[in-house]
Amino acid sequence: MKIEAVDHVEFHVGDAQQSAFYLCTAFGFRVCGQAGPETGRVDSRSLLLRQGGVDVVLTSALTPDHPAAGYVSRHGDGVANIAFRVPDAAKAFETAVARGATPVEEPVVHSQCGTEVVTASVLGFGDVAHRFVQRTGDPAEFLPGTMDMIADDPEESEQLLHTVDHAAICLPAGELRPTVAFYEKVFGFGQIFEEFIEVGEQAMDSKVVQSSSGKVTFTLIEPVTDRRPGQIDTFLARHGGAGVQHLALLTDDIVSAVPALEARGVTFLDTPGSYYDELGGRLKRPDLRLEDLRRTNVLVDQDHWGQVFQIFTQSMHVRKTFFWEVIDRHGARTFGSGNIKALYEAVAREKAMA
């Protein structure tokens, strides 16, 4: 199965307009499309947000039987669909179902004024589905005939973030390996990285799977049950099962992007000073200046191909589950090893000295 890229990510939320206001104000997204009663859709409202190559759809239910109503009741606001761009949506759907995926939506053709989009959906993990999207014609049209596009000039706004780098997914204990096998069998993903992380009495197991195109990457994480409960257990309990813990968005200049996002209202996690004091002991000289990393709280790691710089936002979710990551890759194809452990240990040391 050929999966070309992440086409868009759809959130089910309690209030699409309120969520859009936050993402536009804080992260610099722009509202580029809308669907609802004014466009003939009576059971839900959706807003399309764009920045660079990132398309985010926010959907809220207007009737109690719409899927977004049940999702929000179970999980709160969260990722409900990670859509895959494919050359043939009907064929991708048929192949996925034949390989064991649960069908969610049969192929549907959306067409208007020479633009055609074919969509179909299957279930992924938990309550998260994958929509296959096949596009021909005007690429600016999102779903012709079902969503009204809004005139937009991307050059008028800051372009701080440009691509979905990966999604991090928390799974209940025992589901990691079956989920990896599912993505390998159904979608043709391959495993590119794995890491077992131990921090004090807590531990988690993770594997990274990626599409053959290299454009869709999932970090899959499960807790280790014979250790003290940690952040993955907390997510699963608060979210109500498997779900997307965070989305990572790519930037080309993280040292500039972080203060720009902070000025817009984004709050990032602090990194203890001891993390930077001990950085030289675990990796070669960073590509970016150490003082800039310390000033912006950016983390750094490396793999065989290069370095990766990343920072996480504080969760603004009412359940303190979902958050965002900003990431900048300098050649790195994976995530390095030990960055999470090093950060946790640095935090623990500073707490002990306080």
The binding site consists of 166, 246, 325
Q: CA-CA distances (angstroms) from residue 64 to 61, 69, 70?
A: 7, 6, 8
What is the per-residue burial (b if ≥16 Cβ within 10 Å, else e) of 238-273?
bbbbbbbbbbbbbbeebbebbeebeeeebebeebbe
Tokens for 54? 């990132």
Annotated binding site for Fe cation: 166, 246, 325
Q: Give long-range contacts, CB 8 A cutoff, 24+ apart: 67-70.
A: 67/12, 68/12, 68/13, 68/44
Measure the CA–CA gap between 87 and 90, rounded to whole angstroms. Answer: 9
Q: What is the DSSP string of 250-277?
A: E-S-HHHHHHHHHHHT--BPP--HHHHH
Tell whether the torsion through CA atoms of 133, 137, 140 and 146 is positive or negative. Answer: negative
Strand order in the sheet with 163-170: 190-199, 202-210, 217-223, 163-170, 243-250, 323-330, 307-312, 299-302
Measure the CA–CA gap between 288 and 304, rounded to whole angstroms. Answer: 18
Which of 330, 243, 51 lies closest to 164, judged by CA?
A: 51
Q: CA-CA distances (angstroms) from residue 38 to 14, 35, 48, 100, 141?
A: 19, 7, 15, 38, 18
Tokens for 39? 């466009």
